[in-house]
Every structure is written in C-alpha cells, then in structure tokens.
Chain A
Amino acid sequence: DAKTTQPPSMDCAEGRAANLPCNHSTISGNEYVYWYRQIHSQGPQYIIHGLKNNETNEMASLIITEDRKSSTLILPHATLRDTAVYYCIAFYNTDKLIFGTGTRLQVFP
C-alpha cells in the first residue's frame, strides 16, 4: 500500500471550509484514495473515496491532483460535530484498510 502523510492537527472555525491535505506521492495507478474519520470513542466513519476524478457527496468533496500525488478533503461548512481525526488511506481493491496517524481536526466556535 502506498504510504500517506497528513498534518497531525488542524483548526477550523465553525461555518468555514475545512481543507484537509494528504500526500500520497507513491500511490499506484490502481489505488484509490479513501477518507475516513473517527469521532472520539467511536468507530471510524467512511466519508468519501476517489481514483482520479474529483468527487462530492453529502458529507464532503475530494480533490485529487492530476498527478495523483496528493489530495484534499473539503468539508464545506464545518460544524462542531466535525471535530474528529481524519484518515487518508491509499487502498487497492483487495487490500486491507491500514490506518495511519491521521489529522486531528478541531472545529472551534
């Protein structure tokens, strides 16, 4: 699996967009970029995934650079409930989900 690197922590004001970066410079052509988040003392929650096109769903948007070496998860209007650890994972279809250290996002009022 390609290794991903994320900043350990970020802050965001409530109502503003939270942009969480992820580097995956060694990602291979058939690996997807998956994002999960874990709110304190809960199981992780799937957010979104993509291969090379930008993706959007009801939770977030995923922007993947053209060379696929990095991506950004965007929460368009962060709320206090979005405070969590966000994990970016490079994943191939038959692999296991391996979690890195993630980014701890703190949304403040």
Chain B
Amino acid sequence: GAVVSQHPSRVICKSGTSVKIECRSLDFQATTMFWYRQFPKQSLMLMATSNEGSKATYEQGVEKDKFLINHASLTLSTLTVTSAHPEDSSFYICSAPTSSQGTQYFGPGTRLLVL
C-alpha cells in the first residue's frame, strides 16, 4: 500500500528554537496533506490542510504564524514549529489521501519535546 514517511521521528529542542518536520509521500503524489497533533491519552486533533502550490488552511484556534506549513512539491509537506515552547511538546502526525479523500495514509509521527 501507499507509504507516508516523516522525519525526524523524534526531536528534542530548547524553548525558543524552531523545529521543522517533514512529511513525504513515497510512492504516490499528494496535492493535499493533513497535519494532526496528539497529546498523551488524547485523540488526534486536525491542525491544518496543506495544499500543494497554495497556502495552507488552518483549523480554528491554530496559529498560522506559529505553525508554518509549506507544501513545496507533490510529495513533500513541511511543518515548522516556530519559537517552540514546552506546551508545543506533542506527537505530530501527517497524512495524505490517495484516490479517495477518506482513505488516508498516515505517517509514523514525530514526537517533539521542547525543554
């Protein structure tokens, strides 16, 4: 089946620094990708929709200036957490649909710890 990868799998950074997370569709093209965040023992929360060649659309309450999304090609979307704070520590997961919008392939996730 389709594969989505994320890099890095885990990252530790100091408060105030920026962290970039990459999401790649390895064997298919994705004009749209989605970014989710998941806190411990909670469900996934959709943060934004990444659109190739255009601006991302953010869910209500998600700061677009803090979570920068770039969808530079049909196989790569990046999420940059700017000026990270400890409360940004979370599990970040991306996904991409294939032929059907509802059938999405998820990356393995990136665990971010901000000290």
Contact = CB atoms under 8 A, between A and B. Distances in A.
A42 B109 contact: yes
B27 to A, nearest CB: 16
A5 B6 CA distance: 31
Given A41-B109, A42-B108, A43-B95, A94 B101 contact: yes
A46 B105 contact: yes
B93 A93 contact: no
15 contacts: A32-B102, A42-B108, A42-B109, A43-B6, A43-B106, A44-B93, A46-B105, A49-B102, A91-B101, A91-B102, A97-B95, A99-B43, A99-B44, A99-B45, A100-B43
Contacts of B25: none
Given A42-B108, A93-B102, A100-B43, 17 more contacts: A32-B102, A34-B102, A41-B109, A41-B111, A43-B4, A44-B44, A49-B103, A87-B43, A93-B100, A96-B49, A97-B46, A97-B95, A97-B102, A98-B46, A99-B43, A99-B46, A102-B43
The winner among B46, B49, B106 for most chain A CB atoms within 10 A is B106
A93 B19 CA distance: 33
| Interface size range on A against B | 20 to 34
A43 B108 contact: yes
Interface of B: 4, 6, 34, 36, 43-46, 49, 91, 93, 95, 100-109, 111
Q: Which 3 A-B pairs have the closest CB atoms?
A: A43-B106, A99-B44, A91-B102
A95 B59 CA distance: 13
Nearest to B108: A43
Contacts of A89: 102
A101 interface: yes
